[in-house]
A and B are shown apart, each in its own frame.
Chain A
Amino acid sequence: GAGVSQTPSNKVTEKGKYVELRCDPISGHTALYWYRQSLGQGPEFLIYFQGTGAADDSGLPNDRFFAVRPEGSVSTLKIQRTERGDSAVYLCASSSTPGRVSYNEQFFGPGTRLTVL
């Protein structure tokens, strides 16, 4: 596809359940980012992948949050034992190869709206 895609678009779960959110970046983009946007706020950084490895996971709020990118393309954000405070829109972004000027531009997907009841 032409842009970043995310599935599902909406996810409703119960407190304590496990959820997985998927991101498919722009083809050829080596960098992938996850952000979280709460109501009335700007996106907050969670984690950044360069290729298959997590180059910066300093934004993950606690050990209930984990993300993988096993083949360097699709990424999955995993949240264990969900809490009501995890309710937010989870955004994925990608950017191109290091060394290119366009590497500094992040292109965002439509997000997954997570609601924890």
Chain B
Amino acid sequence: AQSVSQHNHHVILSEAASLELGCNYSYGGTVNLFWYVQYPGQHLQLLLKYFSGDPLVKGIKGFEAEFIKSKFSFNLRKPSVQWSDTAEYFCAVNLMDTGRRALTFGSGTRLQVQP
């Protein structure tokens, strides 16, 4: 079965530190890739997405992600985190070749930014 792995379950950083959250998926075909964020007490919001084209994708709030097809990875990065980035981050994949609409999510990474 297809799966999405997020290696870091809980990350603690100080403000201004750089962030990289890992995401790997197990599927050899065409994919759409997403990062969603869930701030405390709020619902899932789309942070950024990759459908095709430039593998370096820029999203909201200074986040970016790079799709590396050969590594089946879509890591999330931010050069300098802020306290307001404290949230849970989910990577998700849509398997385009299958025709299925379902998103497969990773288990999430809880990011805690200390002031």
Residues of A within 8 A of B (CB): 31, 33, 35, 40-45, 48, 50, 55-56, 58-59, 91, 95, 101, 104-111
Contact = CB atoms under 8 A, between A and B. Distances in A.
The prevalent SS among residues of B at the interface is strand
Contact of A42 (B94, B100, B107): B107
Given A33-B102, A48-B102, A104 B90 contact: no
Given A56-B100, A104-B32, A104-B51, A43 B105 contact: yes
Nearest to A42: B105
A35 B102 CA distance: 9
Contacts of A105: 34, 46, 49
Contacts of A41: 107-108
Contact of B106 (A42, A91, A104): A42
B71 interface: no
B94 A104 contact: yes
Nearest to A98: B101
Among the interface residues B32, B46, B101, B105, which one has the most CB atoms of the partner chain A within 10 A? B101
A40 B6 CA distance: 12
Interface residues of B, number: 23
A45 B102 contact: yes
A78 B55 CA distance: 41
A21 B86 CA distance: 30
Contacts of A106: 103
27 contacts: A31-B101, A35-B105, A41-B108, A42-B90, A42-B105, A42-B106, A42-B108, A43-B105, A45-B102, A45-B103, A45-B104, A48-B100, A48-B101, A50-B101, A56-B100, A58-B102, A59-B102, A101-B51, A104-B49, A104-B51, A104-B94, A105-B34, A105-B46, A106-B103, A109-B43, A110-B42, A110-B43
